[in-house]
A and B are shown apart, each in its own frame.
Chain A
């Protein structure tokens, strides 16, 4: 557990009252983000992202799987979050499981609410075969606000994921899938609809975006929201008593910052790919 003395806590509260934070950021500002894509050569798509002291590594594996007949989905997506015990003392023992299941749940509900994979090209055989995306997330270091870092890293990993072309041949009611051997015959996954998370901590009477560990420890409430590129909210998770009036004000900030964040991430991925 991160330790904060009473004196530090009260100083942090006083500082946040004046509209700045202990590392100089304003209330609705992210820490600098470092991003790298294509870090795992054996994965279909991967990324490594650092948000302040928090660092995560994401790999995406693409497979063809069978699906139930009632299902109309093109893609089944599974998330696995692994909190390595060396990242934080909070992950020792069974605590890591609680963290991973919490983060997994957030990702699953956000991705199921946002219609991410509405791409016609991803269609295989409805009710018979579908794509299976396995997203493995490894938390390498913790410095607060893991959910946002994971959300961003997952989105960028998916955006660099390559999907092989598949020829479908039908003969007497059975389907034969033939995956193109040519490594260059791949399509880039479109992830315009993929959401990212924005997390706020309630400190005193103010909300702060992207809390550090110290701020998380001193907060009395938390609000995590997933927004997609349109600024639509597809997931909300809160903890503690939050003020409704304040929430309304946050809504505009969420939409604006979410949009900027998505643009910057996409831009960075584009630059990284071209160079």
Chain B
């Protein structure tokens, strides 16, 4: 029986267990952490901000999060919430709909973002007014369900997010894996396009959408013309290796998301290296016992 168990790994069953506290203890213990309905300790005459509610004479929280005070303003920043955009954010989005002169893009926000036809680079890079013909060709640029990377150009008064892809690094995403994580785990930074040491590229969207891909163009010259026509010359063997690394990266990000750890190239590589070191095959990475083991080891080796 036991022998058979080790041999056949196609099925893994376990009972539900209390998952380890996913929040770092320092956060959970701090007095600034509140749950919905908790009193927010504050002095008289405060200005109430987002995530708070006045109940009688008390000021209570409406979300689970950290209390933030700016002078008299008291607000609660939720630890898990939909993405709230800021101008300049790099996002990964999925086209929801093609409507007149604009695309509706799902960016994990409260409402769909808008990408105007005039906010994309036309093929060939010419700058001109968008004509009716361009409008008819919109589905050839980005079709429904396509994934794109873009930048937040503007936030309208009512919260509408306007995107643009007016740069060579933005545009349609191909040859890779998509994974969605908690948006709060991706910090705003200078760089969101990363080339990882294992030869895999990732785009960490500020909105919690992550694209893991193999950039075939980096291997060739940075020449414009070649960039648009990447050649597939790689041998099948190296392709499989690359795919496996990409999946390993995907699973590493999944583990980080599950344990509510910050998602950065460094943390991803920490998990990645740990699984390589322990010689854990990709297919076993997502088993709860192994994930727990990896998590413990990583937490012991380095403060995250």
Contact residues of A with B, CB < 8 Å?
3-8, 11, 14-15, 18, 20, 22-26, 28-36, 48, 50, 209, 256-257, 260-261, 263-265, 267-268, 271-272
Contacts and interface: CB of A to CB of B under 8 A. Distances in A.
Contact of A48 (B1, B14, B16, B250): B16
6 contacts: A6-B145, A7-B146, A8-B147, A24-B247, A24-B251, A264-B13
Interface of B: 1, 4, 8-16, 94, 96, 106, 143-147, 172-178, 239-240, 243-244, 247-248, 250-251, 254, 281-288
B145 A20 contact: no
Contacts of A209: 10
B288 to A, nearest CB: 6
B156 to A, nearest CB: 25
Contact of A11 (B8, B13, B146, B176): B176
Given A7-B173, A34-B16, A36-B16, A24 B248 contact: yes
A14 to B, nearest CB: 8
A22 B249 CA distance: 11
Contacts of B14: 32-35, 268
A260 B10 contact: yes
A256 B145 CA distance: 38
A18 B12 contact: no
B11 A257 contact: yes
A156 to B, nearest CB: 10
A34 B286 CA distance: 13
Nearest to B247: A24
**Chain A at the B interface: SS class:** mixed
A30 B288 contact: no
A26 B244 CA distance: 12
Given A33-B14, A36-B16, A260-B8, A24 B286 contact: yes
Contact of B250 (A22, A29, A32, A261): A22
Given A3-B94, A24-B247, A257-B10, A32 B282 contact: no
Which has the most chain A C-beta neighbours within 10 Å: B8, B9, B11, B281? B11
B15 A268 contact: yes
Contact of A20 (B96, B172, B173, B247): B247
Contacts of A256: 8
Contacts of A3: 94, 96, 106, 144-145
Which has the most chain A C-beta neighbours within 10 Å: B12, B94, B143? B12
Given A8-B147, A18-B239, 20 more contacts: A6-B146, A7-B173, A11-B177, A18-B243, A23-B250, A23-B254, A24-B247, A25-B283, A29-B9, A32-B13, A32-B286, A32-B287, A32-B288, A34-B15, A35-B13, A35-B15, A48-B16, A257-B10, A261-B11, A265-B13
Nearest to B16: A36
A267 B10 contact: no
A185 B282 CA distance: 49
B25 to A, nearest CB: 25
A195 B106 CA distance: 41
B283 A29 contact: yes
Given A11-B176, A50-B16, A23 B10 contact: no
B13 A268 contact: yes
B15 A31 contact: no
Nearest to A34: B16
A101 B250 CA distance: 36
Contacts of A23: 247, 250-251, 254, 286
Which has the most chain A C-beta neighbours within 10 Å: B1, B9, B287? B9
B12 A33 contact: yes
Contact of B243 (A7, A15, A36): A15
A20 B243 CA distance: 9
Given A8-B178, A29-B9, A20 B282 contact: yes
Contacts of B176: 7-8, 11
A22 B94 contact: no
B177 A18 contact: no
A265 B14 CA distance: 8
A138 to B, nearest CB: 16
Nearest to B94: A3
Nearest to A26: B283
A30 B11 contact: yes
Which has the most chain B C-beta neighbours within 10 Å: A25, A30, A261, A271? A25
Contacts of A20: 243-244, 247, 282-283
Nearest to B280: A24
Contact of A32 (B12, B144, B247): B12
